[in-house]
A and B are shown apart, each in its own frame.
Chain A
Amino acid sequence: MLRLLNIEFIKLWNNKASKVLILAYFILLSLIAGIAAIKFNFGVFDFHLAEQGIFNFPFIWHFNTYVAAELKFFLAIVIVSMVANEYSNKTIKQNLIDGLSKKEFIISKFVTVAVFAFISTLFIFILSLILGLIYSSYNETSIIFSDLEYLFAFFVKLLGFFSFCLFVGMLIKRSAFALGFLFIWYMFEGIVRLGLFLMESTKEYADAITQFLPLKSMSNLIEQPLARLGAAKEIASMAGEDLSYDYAVHWYEIAIVLGWTAIFIFFSYRLLLKRDL
């Protein structure tokens, strides 16, 4: 396992484009801390984002994992190209000839993807902990370490998404087309949702079905957190709207995404097994 990870590391870290993207990803993740510095001054009305409660424990776990997940596209590019380049450079062929088995090849890619997801999670955990300790209004240990399921959901979300990227890279074999396919797939899910909505004209019906689609199931894991903010609630109640979102992490959502992860990895392996290189 370590050997496979080591092989992937040599391949990735010597590629300038991958290195830049990975570094950019982590730098941008750290910039979440920069949100703390956002301050507006509208004459008498003083708005300091950090004081709106976004960095309060345990809400910070929800907020930060949601924002951080938006940056996953940086790593998506890295992952798609790390798979597709093996085809375009024909190095996949050479790897197999040199004695890597097809199973090991897929495992090495999957382990790398899992490590990406794990390091991202760890990074967000540490970053949130620090931000929270500085800005949170509550500092009791029991509150700090509550709602940690958002971190687990974050990990699963990234793992699922990166596995999808890996599969698309294996399937399409060209980075640019594979990234294009990801985008088209994203739109496709949107169209399916719209179609279902128009058919039955209930949001619940559309959601009940689209929750099983890969990208939708991943985005369901961590719902947008802004509705939980004090300010948003106030505005909503003034407008007479009830914004009671179901923002918890559900076990079946986790199960669906893990199911997709297994499917993507299994079919990546099948593809490689069946293909003549």
Chain B
Amino acid sequence: METILQINNLTKKFGNLTAVNDLSFTIKKGNVYGILGPNGSGKSTTLGITLNVVNKTSGDFKWFDGSVSTHEALKKVGAIIERPNFYPYMSAYKNLKLVCKIKGIDYSKIDEKLEVVGLLERKHSKFKTYSLGMKQRLAIASALLNDPEILILDEPTNGLDPQGIHQIRAIIRHIASQGTTILLASHLLDEVEKVCSHVVVLRKGEKLYSGRVDEMISSNGFFELKCDDEEKLLQYLEQHTSIEKTIKKEGLITAFLNAPLSASAFNKELVEKGIYISHLVMRKESLEEQFLQLTDNK
């Protein structure tokens, strides 16, 4: 598969603070990537470096096959970072005209892209009269103008109301369905879970995980159990080879598996040992729990 962006050992320091620490990952064509991490984990800094607005401290990155300069490569990229930045005194249409000039493309796509984000009727209104949701949609239209090889979105739903969030996500899904590579940075797990196929998890500038979203949940899941004779159950779980650890909380015993084990087989075992349980649920960690585990444990 074609490589779109390759990051090697990228490090960025702001004085004493290391915002990005020895980060490496690769973006391949056709996938939808998420960069996931709490606020201040270095997501925006990483994107800023690749987008030519933040200077790296060390390491390197290359766009496409590395044969063109960053700013030339960026003409084939569509990106919005944090807040929509446009000239407030100019209309949406004129702002997009300016972007066309910078990217060196003609104006023919402007109306089409405004249509995609539902702003065609308001195209002659000044940018400063727009609501935040509209500004964000205009930013997406602007990023799409050149039919980019990759669309980079940094916290695209930040600060929007539920309706706005819904609209933006619908647009992103629509774009993803057309085969555009997307890189989405977010601290919102459900956003990444709903949209992305691959994920890079960051914490304090370090990579904790990188790979497919479904493989990130690598564990075999866990059982939630309730039993009248808790002591006996706990004793049994303690010496069970498939069970990694148990946690007792709020009257529920949670047993984490380190090997595949079905709920019915487990129930059968317990009955054979004379342990009768009143509650048995088998669950897999949600991305959220997985994420918290990843970011807490290390």
B residues within 8 A CB of A95?
Answer: 102
Q: Mark B244-277, 1 if CB is under 8 A from A, else 0.
A: 0000000000000000000000000000000000
Assess whether A142 is interfacial by the CB under 8 Å rule.
no
A100 contacts B97, CB within 8 Å?
no
Assess whether B286 is interfacial by the CB under 8 Å rule.
no
A4 to B262, CA, bound (A): 66
**If A10-B94, A101-B71 touch, does A16 touch B89 (CB 8 Å cutoff)?**
yes
Select one of A14, A98, A99 contacting B87, CB under 8 A. A14
- Which of B48-56, B111-119, B195-203, B223-231 interfaces with chain A? B48-56
Assess whether A137 is interfacial by the CB under 8 Å rule.
no
Q: Which of A173-228 contact B (CB under 8 A)?
A: none
B52 contacts A89, CB within 8 Å?
no
B residues within 8 A CB of A6?
Answer: 101
Select one of B71, B87, B103 contacting A91, CB under 8 A. B87
Q: Mark B68-93, 1 if CB is under 8 A from A, else 0.
A: 01011011010111010111111000
Assess whether B98 is interfacial by the CB under 8 Å rule.
yes
A273 to B188, CA, bound (A): 33
A residues within 8 A CB of B88?
Answer: 89
A99 contacts B69, CB within 8 Å?
no
Q: Mark B30-57, 1 if CB is under 8 A from A, else 0.
A: 0000000000000000001001111100
Query: Closest approach, in angstroms, between the C-beta of B160 and any C-beta of chain A?
Result: 18
A residues within 8 A CB of B52?
Answer: 96-97, 101-102
A227 to B97, CA, bound (A): 52
A102 to B54, CA, bound (A): 12
A residues within 8 A CB of B75?
Answer: 98-99
Assess whether A39 is interfacial by the CB under 8 Å rule.
no
Query: Closest approach, in angstroms, between the C-beta of B253 and any C-beta of chain A?
Result: 50
Interface size on A, residues (CB 8 A): 27
Assess whether A270 is interfacial by the CB under 8 Å rule.
no
Q: Mark A250-277, 1 if CB is under 8 A from B, else 0.
A: 0000000000000000000000011111
B55 contacts A98, CB within 8 Å?
no
A residues within 8 A CB of B54?
Answer: 276-277
Query: Closest approach, in angstroms, between the C-beta of A273 and any C-beta of chain B?
Result: 8
B55 contacts A276, CB within 8 Å?
yes
Query: Closest approach, in angstroms, between the C-beta of B235 and any C-beta of chain A?
Result: 58
Interface size on B, residues (CB 8 A): 32
Query: Closest approach, in angstroms, between the C-beta of B84 and any C-beta of chain A?
Result: 8
A residues within 8 A CB of B74?
Answer: 96-99
Assess whether A11 is interfacial by the CB under 8 Å rule.
yes
B55 contacts A101, CB within 8 Å?
no
A7 contacts B87, CB within 8 Å?
no
Assess whether A90 is interfacial by the CB under 8 Å rule.
yes
- Nearest A residue to B73 via CB reads A99
A residues within 8 A CB of B103?
Answer: 98-99
Q: Mark A1-45, 1 if CB is under 8 A from B, else 0.
A: 001001100110011100000000000000000000000000000
B71 contacts A104, CB within 8 Å?
yes
A3 to B77, CA, bound (A): 20
Assess whether A93 is interfacial by the CB under 8 Å rule.
yes
A101 contacts B51, CB within 8 Å?
no
- Nearest A residue to B45 via CB reads A276
**If A100-B102, A101-B69, A276-B55 touch, does A94 touch B94 (CB 8 Å cutoff)?**
no
Query: Closest approach, in angstroms, between the C-beta of A90 and any C-beta of chain B?
Result: 4
Give 19 new A-B contacts, CB below 8 A, not counting A7-B102, A14-B94. Answer: A3-B101, A7-B101, A10-B90, A11-B87, A14-B89, A14-B90, A91-B87, A93-B81, A96-B53, A97-B53, A97-B81, A99-B72, A99-B102, A99-B104, A101-B69, A101-B71, A276-B48, A277-B53, A277-B54
6 A–B contacts from the bound complex (CB under 8 Å) = A10-B98, A89-B85, A89-B88, A97-B52, A102-B71, A276-B54
| A interface residues with partner B (beta carbon < 8 Å) | 3, 6-7, 10-11, 14-16, 89-91, 93-102, 104, 273-277
